[in-house]
Amino acid sequence: MSEPLLSVEGLEKHFPVTKGLLQRQVAAVKAVDGISFDVVKGETLGLVGESGCGKTTTGRLITRLIEPTGGKIRFEGNDITHMSQGRMRPLRRDVQMIFQDPYSSLNPRHTVGAIVGAPFRIQGIKTEHGTKKAVQDILELVGLNPEHYNRYPHEFSGGQRQRIGIARTLALKPKLIIADEPVSALDVSIQAQVVNLLEDLQSELDLTYLVIAHDLSVVRHISDRVAVMYLGKIVELADRKSLYESPMHPYTNALLSAVPIPDPKGRAQRERIRLQGDVPSPLNPPPACRFHTRCWKAQEICKTIEPPLETLATGHQVACHFPENAPATPEPAATTA
């Protein structure tokens, strides 16, 4: 396998909970609690999980919008974990972000030209035929009319605004794009347009994506590999096919079986795994395996020993004491990632 573009090792973010006059720290919200994964050039890694599992925090840590409390982030081999704002700036060209809400992520007082042209201005980049031409080319690339250069965001529909957001991230030809719920705020028919656009851009511009989403069917459609998060941990990481066809972690199984199927035939017979209760608070997560409070396979060991993330089949990592669909003997090369 080629050198990973992005490599994350034991990444942690604990938000302090403070109390009293002296702002003494009394607890910590372990939003992201030691996760490791690689993103290889040209692939799409999907990060799925329910609300509060830390997937958005992970995206913000990688873009260094918030400061990690532990672990390492390497981009193209360089350690960027605690790089200063000033030294990060040239790197920001290469790592860009698409946000969820196309309404709040665009400045209503700026024209489309100013929004998409901002990266050129900030990075001090001169283009051959001027910024305006460059911006119009990008607008065309994402399927917007270049003549709309002087319009304001409110003149566009939700789907078009999301295209403006995508155009902005593409301005400086980034290497890695982190898309945080890029389609969940859009109508179904528009979602498909944006998903197709992201795929086209990837093959055209040789992009690498980290897609953060809660919709398992969208993630299956766009990802090459998928990581499932639960309460700040990655519980399963595998290529698309093995994760969706033979999931090993009970949580992944439960997630997949909870997705409503748009097929009214046989809905009465459909077998479902029903999880009880809600996701526990990350302020006080269950000890050892964090899923044991809702897991139907949980035994004594799950409450005392935390299962490590192990490679049980080629490219298939799981953190569970009692994995399903696992091959009889673990691969000899099995190591903790």
- Binding region for other proteins (CB under 8 A): 50-51, 157-160, 187-193, 195-196, 199, 214, 216-218, 220-221, 240, 244, 254-265, 267, 272, 274-275, 278-279
Q: Provide the token pair at 227.
A: 């990581």
Shortest separation between residue 212's beta carbon and other proteins, angstroms: 14
- Taking alpha carbons only, the member of 97, 315, 51 closest to residue 211 is 97
In the bound state with other proteins, the residue whose beta carbon lies nearer, of 13 and 294, is 294
Which residues lie below 8 Å from residue 320, measured CB to CB, with a gap of 6+?
235, 236, 248, 249, 250, 289, 307
In the bound state with other proteins, the residue whose beta carbon lies nearer, of 22 and 188, is 188
CA distances from 72 to 7, 9, 90 (A): 8, 5, 19
In the bound state with other proteins, the residue whose beta carbon lies nearer, of 69 and 202, is 202
Give 30-56 as a 3 state SS string: EEEEEEEEEEECCCEEEEECCCCCCHH
Residue 232, strand partner residues: none
In the bound state with other proteins, the residue whose beta carbon lies nearer, of 50 and 76, is 50
3-state SS, residue 125: coil
Shortest separation between residue 5's beta carbon and other proteins, angstroms: 24
Q: Provide the token pair at 40.
A: 């290889």
- Taking alpha carbons only, the member of 199, 204, 142, 208 closest to residue 174 is 208
In the bound state with other proteins, the residue whose beta carbon lies nearer, of 6 and 254, is 254
In the bound state with other proteins, the residue whose beta carbon lies nearer, of 263 and 300, is 263
Shortest separation between residue 286's beta carbon and other proteins, angstroms: 15
Question: How far apart (Å, rounded) are the C-alpha atoms in residues 216 and 263?
Answer: 17
234, 222 Cβ separation under 8 angstroms: no
Shortest separation between residue 333's beta carbon and other proteins, angstroms: 28
In the bound state with other proteins, the residue whose beta carbon lies nearer, of 116 and 255, is 255
Shortest separation between residue 16's beta carbon and other proteins, angstroms: 22
Residue 96, strand partner residues: 177
